């Protein structure tokens, strides 16, 4: 600009929060979606599915948080290549903005094999670290015009391209599809599917009793034989022959794929990195949201697929 032009005044932005809708018709109402991914490993299918989403890309912003590990470095390089390609490609495929955060803290667990990260004794430290990563990403990227936050893990490699519209159509504060995994069944000699994410559940009296007897910093974990909770797991409710739109109320949720109205987070719902009612991370989030009068729901018969190592 010319040096004798009057200098532009810095930005002042006014946001009327009641103009920001989160409705069952998010495309019609031009509602913006922030897709957030804690990313330790990059999968090409993950990116390809983001690009294939048929929600208007100019309404989608992406946010990533990547750990300071060797694995994180590799994921960062792979992500950057795809971001550059997509954001420099056809206009209709470009996302509104992309924010990439590199963490400054070491991960408590360097090995990240499926077996290692699911060991019960590793879960508390690991999930506390994950909770902090999710909070950092959330607090840093949520903006005044965000209507929805879609949490999407980097190893979710298959879902319908109408995912955002499908989940938003229920018009509920928090909603999780059912996270499954494809695998080769050695007996049947064919590919099959099985439940993967056990964090979507309805609470049980047994779990409540277990919690009541615990030390105040202890946490309940789901999916471990050593600690049977008799919660009703959404992973076990899948029925291919039942109503595909079946919706159930949940008390705990996973973060693998989760659509949240941004106002739930704005009220203060975050991912507790400490025992919160004996729950942590995404499961603690559902509980905290409930304390703020926001309900969680799940779709037992709407599947998304987790990568199989």
* Phi, psi for residue 114 in degrees, rounded to 5: -55, -45
CB of 146 to its own copies, least distance (A): 8
CB of 27 to ligand GDP, least distance (A): 26
Task: Name the nearest CA neighbour of 174 among 247, 230, 95.
Answer: 247
| Nearer of residues 113 and 190 to ligand GDP, judged by Cβ | 113
| Nearer of residues 72 and 173 to Mn ion, judged by Cβ | 72
> Do 283 and 272 meet the contact criterion of CB atoms below 8 Å apart?
no
| Nearer of residues 178 and 282 to its own copies, judged by Cβ | 282
Binding to Mn ion, residues 32-61 (CB under 5 A): none
| Nearer of residues 151 and 201 to Mn ion, judged by Cβ | 151
| Nearer of residues 155 and 263 to Mn ion, judged by Cβ | 155
39 binds, among ligand GDP, Mn ion, its own copies, none (CB under 5 to 8 A by kind): ligand GDP
CB of 249 to its own copies, least distance (A): 20
What are the distances in angstroms from CA 11 to CA 14, 86, 117? Answer: 10, 29, 45
| Nearer of residues 153 and 281 to Mn ion, judged by Cβ | 153
Considering only 74, 101, 193, 210, the residue that binds its own copies (CB under 8 A) is 101
Other beta carbons within 10 angstroms of residue 169's beta carbon come to 15
Distance (Å, rounded) from C-alpha 211 to C-alpha 196?
24
Confirm or reject binding of residue 73 to its own copies (CB under 8 A): no
Contacts with ligand GDP, residue ranges (CB under 6 A): 37-41, 65-67, 103, 107, 112, 117-118, 129-130, 133, 153-155
Tokens at 149, concatenated: 């936050």
Distance (Å, rounded) from C-alpha 96 to C-alpha 82?
15
| Nearer of residues 82 and 232 to its own copies, judged by Cβ | 82
Confirm or reject binding of residue 222 to Mn ion (CB under 5 A): no
CB of 239 to its own copies, least distance (A): 36
Mode of pairing for the β-strands spanning 296-306 and 174-185: parallel
CB of 270 to its own copies, least distance (A): 4
Tokens at 47, concatenated: 């990116």
Residue keyed to tokens 């999780």: 176
SS3 state of residue 263? helix
What are the distances in angstroms from CA 70 to CA 105, 116, 130? Answer: 13, 17, 17
Distance (Å, rounded) from C-alpha 226 to C-alpha 237?
22
Binding to its own copies, residues 3-22 (CB under 8 A): 7, 9-18, 20
Binding to its own copies, residues 247-286 (CB under 8 A): 265-268, 270-274
Tokens at 184, concatenated: 């080769």
* Phi, psi for residue 139 in degrees, rounded to 5: -60, -30
Residues forming contacts to its own copies in the complex (CB under 8 A) are 7, 9-18, 20, 68, 83-84, 87-88, 91, 94-104, 131-132, 135-136, 138-144, 265-268, 270-274, 291-292
């Amino acid at each position: 600009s010319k040096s004798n032009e009057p200098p532009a005044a810095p930005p002042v932005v006014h946001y009327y929060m009641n103009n920001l809708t989160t409705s069952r018709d998010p495309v019609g109402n031009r509602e913006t979606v922030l897709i957030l991914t804690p990313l330790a490993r990059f999968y090409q299918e993950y990116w390809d599915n983001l690009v294939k989403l048929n929600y208007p890309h100019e309404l989608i912003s992406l946010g990533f948080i990547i750990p300071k590990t060797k694995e994180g470095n590799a994921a960062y390089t792979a992500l950057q290549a795809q971001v550059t390609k997509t954001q420099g490609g056809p206009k209709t495929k470009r996302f509104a903005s992309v924010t990439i955060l590199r963490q400054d803290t070491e991960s408590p667990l360097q090995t990240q094999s499926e077996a290692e990260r699911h060991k019960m004794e590793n879960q508390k430290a690991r999930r506390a670290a994950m909770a902090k990563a999710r909070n950092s990403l959330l607090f840093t990227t949520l903006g005044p015009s965000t209507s929805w936050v879609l949490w999407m893990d980097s190893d979710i490699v298959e879902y319908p391209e109408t995912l955002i519209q499908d989940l938003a159509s229920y018009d509920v504060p928090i909603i999780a599809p059912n996270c499954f995994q494809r695998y080769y069944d050695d007996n049947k000699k064919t590919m099959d599917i099985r439940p993967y994410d056990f964090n979507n559940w309805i609470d049980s009296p047994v779990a409540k009793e277990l919690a009541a007897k615990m030390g105040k910093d202890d946490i309940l974990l789901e999916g471990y034989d050593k600690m049977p909770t008799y919660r009703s797991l959404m992973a076990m409710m899948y029925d291919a022959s039942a109503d595909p739109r079946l919706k159930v109320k949940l008390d705990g949720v996973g973060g693998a794929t989760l659509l949240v109205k941004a106002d739930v987070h704005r009220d203060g719902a975050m991912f507790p990195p400490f025992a919160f009612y004996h729950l942590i991370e995404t499961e603690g989030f559902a509980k905290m949201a409930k304390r703020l009068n926001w309900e969680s729901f799940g779709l037992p018969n709407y599947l998304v697929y987790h990568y199989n190592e």
